[in-house]
Structure 1
Amino acid sequence: MEKKEIIAALMTANVNFLNALGLNIDVSISRENKKFNEVVGFCEQVITIIETFYKEKKEIVFLDCSCGKSYLSFVLNYVLSNVFALNTYFYAVDKNTAIIEKCERINSLLGFKNMCFINAKTIDVLPEKSVDFVIALHACDVATDETIAKAIKIKSRHILVVPCCENNIRNRLKEGHPLVDITDFGLLRYRFASILTEALRAQFLAGAGYSVKLVEIVSPKYTPKNLMIIAKRKKRNKKYNMNKFQKLDEMFNTDFALQSFFADTGSNRSECYKAICG
């Protein structure tokens, strides 16, 4: 069986688990459920990385940013415990107080002892444990950038994010760039904003010393927002730079939001880039 099939089978075999999450009561419908398939696809990528880089038995720490109802953390916790018998710990962060309270109620039903739910902005969180994975599933617009910034700041070994909307960039593409004849049209501007936003994020991560790849975690029939950015921190044995990111940012006049989370690292943009790459 493929990883996706194993994960899906494990989840659907436990109706009480699905019911507690509120993913779906009817198992037959759950397998076609959009969120169900997104979570399964995300888990598959995490497990692939764990199989590759975590041969030794150690505690693996996750930081789930803009976690919402924490579907992702709950499912990862369940799968990694039941299939891999791994020692894990999960921080789940969201600025919505009601959502965090709901997560805590769900966890009281499921009985996990290795989860901490935090009501705060992602950028302000200071995990007590060293974080191995920073993850986010459909953190809205600049919340994905906040997630990436936090991951870089705490030197997370792995970053996996599935972005959501790209409103910040889309609103800036109406004028002042070399492809304005394309972005004059709303639908094309919408699609190009998605490509440009993920390219900027990928180049920023590469400049900050991460190897980066982009994959699809689920079929587009479930959601068009199926692109995942996977980044792994490289050994700090050579200098990195933001040249490619900076060139792209300036070409399209985006003043990209991700860099704003590093304003405290330098008095100007050049110093900021130097601090990030150092």
Structure 2
Amino acid sequence: MEIKETIGELLRTSKELLKIIELDIEQAGDEREIKKYNEVIGFCEQVVRIIETYPQDKEIVFLDCSCGKSYLSFALNIILKKQFAVNTYFYGVDTNRILIEKCDRIRNSLGFRNMHFINGRIIDVQPEKPVDILIALHACDIATDEAIAKGIKLGAKYIVVVPCCEGQVRGRIKRGHPLVDLTDFGLLRYRFADILTEALRAQFLTGAGYHVKLTEITSPKFTPKNLMIIARRKKGNKRYNLDKYKKLDEMFNTEFVLNNYFNEQELGQDNLLSPVN
């Protein structure tokens, strides 16, 4: 059985979990839950492929950014434990206090002792355990960039994000760049902003010492926001080299938000990145 099919079957039979986290597609009243369900399965599939590269006895620590109701972390927790016998620990962070309190209640009702939820900003959180894999599923607009920045600062081995909206770039590419004849048209500007935003994120991660892969987590019929960025920290000591990112940023005058999470000293090419364990 393929990994995706295995994950889907395990989730479908985990009826208590699906009911508690309000992701029971058999009882779904609209298409939004089905969409979210397929997004979670697609995301989990990619994480499982990453997990297969780790030693069997290692505790793998996740940081789920803008976790919301934590569909993803709860699903991963049960999948990795039941099907793959992986030892895990999950941190979830969100600025919404009500949702964090709800996650705490769900964790307690399920008896998951390997989960800790934090009410606060992504960039400010300081997990006690070293983070192996940072994840974010549809963290809205610049929250995705905050998650990427946090992953880099923490030295996470993997940063795995599925971005949401790209409002920041869309508003800045109406004029003053080489492709202005293309972005004169609203629909084309909207779509180009998506592409440019993900290119900026990918180039920043590459310049910060990560190997970057872009893939899709599910069919576009479920959601157009199905692009996933998988960034794996390169081994050995690496230096920042953001030349490609800066060139792209300057070409389109985006003043991209990732810049704001780092000071000049951090982004200097002489700054040596910590080696990967």
TM-score (norm 2): 0.94
| Aligned-residue offset at 1:246 | 0.5
Q: Which whole-Å CA distance do the structure 2 matches of 1:203 and 1:65 have between them?
A: 21
Offset from partner CA, 1:42-71 (integer Å, 9 cap, x none): 0000000111x2133110000000001000
The match for 2:191 is 191
SS in 2 for 1:139: coil
The match for 2:174 is 174
Unaligned residue ranges in structure 2 (runs of 5+): none
| Aligned-residue offset at 1:86 | 1.1
8 Å CA contact 1:209–1:236 kept in 2: the answer is no
The match for 1:151 is 151
1:274 aligns with 2:269: yes
Q: Which whole-Å CA distance do the structure 2 matches of 1:152 and 1:17 have between them?
A: 32
Q: Which whole-Å CA distance do the structure 1 matches of 2:247 and 2:258 have between them?
A: 15
The match for 2:51 is 50
Relative to structure 1, the CA distance from residue 210 to residue 132 in structure 2 (aligned partners, 3 Å threshold; closer, same or farther) is same
Q: Which whole-Å CA distance do the structure 2 matches of 1:189 and 1:129 have between them?
A: 42
What fraction of aligned residue pairs are identical, expressed as a percent? 63
Offset from partner CA, 1:172-231 (integer Å, 9 cap, x none): 011111111111111000000000000000000000000000000000000000000000
Amino acid at match of 1:145: D
Unaligned residue ranges in structure 1 (runs of 5+): none
| Aligned-residue offset at 1:240 | 4.1
The match for 1:202 is 202
| Aligned-residue offset at 1:30 | 9.6
For the aligned residue pairs, the C-alpha RMSD in angstroms reads 1.8
| Aligned-residue offset at 1:106 | 1.3
1:35 aligns with 2:32: no
8 Å CA contact 2:60–2:89 kept in 1: the answer is yes
Aligned residues: 272
8 Å CA contact 1:41–1:218 kept in 2: the answer is yes
SS in 1 for 2:50: helix
SS in 2 for 1:136: strand
Alignment of 1:1-278 (within 5 A): 1-24=1-24, 26=26, 33-51=34-52, 53-263=53-263, 265-266=264-265, 272-274=267-269, 278=273
Amino acid at match of 2:267: C
8 Å CA contact 1:37–1:218 kept in 2: the answer is yes
Q: Which whole-Å CA distance do the structure 2 matches of 1:60 and 1:135 have between them?
A: 13
